[in-house]
């Protein structure tokens, strides 16, 4: 589908600027390629003491600016880059600034788990607003209520359409069951299962101690079925590996897993590689490491087209939700 990103005013000049931070440059380049415009010229570097320095090296006055930056590892460095990029654009008189955050870091700290603890997801939202963002565009927030932490328009995209297309092309839907690895992910699993018209099952997970997970029970019929686990974040990999083992012990023929954000910290890649999972499929919301790319049973799906289309519709003041419903 050809797109014209030229504005009606400004003598036919471009009214959209795509600015990339350092957290996921390849994704930003792929989005710019989809939109058929170059990335805005900018410099994001570190001083000797590791302070962040940003310079926007072209005119953005009156432009619709989109800053593409995941707040993934190293989360604090990438968050500071995002905030300083927004501030630089604001001080350069950009007409509107949209923070495009494919992976929203600190999202798992969305409530007080005990006394005298912070709600860091809310603090990050405050920082982004205060820096000067006018809108936020993110994907598969760990907790939907984080949208309410912002007092500016916030679009939470879903990777489900990209996953559904890949599932149908690679595995088909015959004899398939979508599985939630825990009770909290049932809504996500049900939504994807509805798109491909297959049943769902649930793994009842209990944590014996912090940082460890154990699958205790499988709710639903998985015997003789091909199972697809669905989750929003894979970090240590323990939950999905244990879920895969439980499903296979209950008679599943094979287990695949689709996850939006591949955090994959610590020994997660090795854990996945040595597991009984046929495939772990993640998106490029977080820049895949060399270890991830070299692992035989991990694949990466691009969300550049989805994000690019959402950016285009935002710039044109068109509906973004119609991408999913």
The SS3 assignment for 196 reads helix
3-state percent helix, strand, coil for the chain, nearest multiple of 5 = 35, 25, 40
Q: State how beta strands 226-234 and 298-301 pair.
A: unpaired
DSSP 143: S
| Alpha-carbon gap, residue 181 to 230, rounded angstroms | 7
Pairwise CA distance, residues 86 & 92, whole Å? 10
DSSP assignments along 169-202, one per residue:
HHT-STTEEEEESSGGGHHHHHHHHHHHT--EEE
CB burial readout 117-141, b (16+ within 10 A) else e:
eebebbebbeebbebbbbbbbbbbb
Three-state SS at 281: strand
**Ordered DSSP codes for 296-314:** TTEEEE--HHHHHHHHHHH
d(CA 236, CA 59): 43
Q: Among 17, 205, 225, 278, which one carries the catalytic annotation?
A: 205
- Phi–psi pair at 197, nearest 5 degrees: 60, 55
Contact between residue 324 and residue 160 where contact means Cβ atoms under 8 Å apart: yes
Residues 242-260: b if buried by 16+ CB within 10 A, e if exposed? bbbebbbebebebbbbbbb
Q: Would you call 90 a catalytic residue per the annotation?
A: no
* Burial of residue 7, with CB atoms counted within 10 A of its CB: 0-12 exposed, 13-18 middle, 19 or more buried: middle
User: Which DSSP letter does residue 266 get?
Assistant: T
Torsion sign over Cα 108, 271, 172, 31: positive
The residues assigned a catalytic role are: 205
């Amino acid at each position: 589908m050809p797109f014209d990103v030229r504005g009606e005013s400004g003598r036919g000049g471009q009214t959209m600027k795509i600015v990339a931070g350092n957290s996921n440059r390849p994704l930003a380049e792929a989005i710019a390629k989809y939109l058929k415009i170059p990335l805005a010229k900018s410099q994001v570097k570190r001083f000797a003491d590791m302070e962040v320095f940003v310079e926007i090296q072209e005119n953005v006055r009156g432009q619709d600016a989109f800053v593409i930056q995941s707040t993934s590892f190293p989360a604090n460095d990438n968050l500071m880059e995002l905030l300083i990029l927004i501030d630089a654009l604001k001080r350069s008189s950009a007409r509107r600034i949209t923070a495009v955050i494919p992976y929203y870091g600190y999202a798992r700290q969305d409530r007080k788990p005990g006394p005298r603890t912070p709600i860091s997801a809310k603090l990050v939202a405050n920082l982004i607003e205060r820096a000067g963002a006018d809108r936020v565009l993110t994907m598969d927030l760990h907790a939907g209520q984080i949208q309410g932490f912002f007092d500016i328009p916030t679009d939470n995209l879903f990777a489900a359409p990209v996953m559904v297309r890949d599932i149908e092309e690679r595995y088909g839907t015959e004899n398939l069951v979508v599985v939630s690895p825990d009770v909290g992910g049932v809504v996500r699993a049900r939504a994807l299962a509805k798109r491909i018209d297959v049943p769902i099952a649930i793994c009842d997970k209990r944590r014996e101690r912090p940082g460890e997970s154990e699958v205790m029970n499988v709710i639903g019929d998985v015997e003789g079925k091909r199972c697809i686990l669905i989750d929003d974040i894979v970090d240590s990999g323990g939950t999905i590996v244990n879920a895969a083992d439980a499903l296979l012990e209950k008679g599943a023929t094979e287990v695949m897993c689709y996850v939006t954000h591949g955090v994959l910290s610590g020994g997660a890649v090795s854990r996945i590689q040595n597991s009984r999972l046929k495939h772990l499929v993640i998106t490029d919301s977080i820049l895949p490491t060399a270890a991830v790319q070299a692992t035989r049973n991990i694949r990466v799906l691009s969300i550049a087209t989805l994000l690019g289309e959402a950016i285009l519709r935002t710039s044109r003041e068109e509906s973004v939700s119609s991408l999913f419903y």
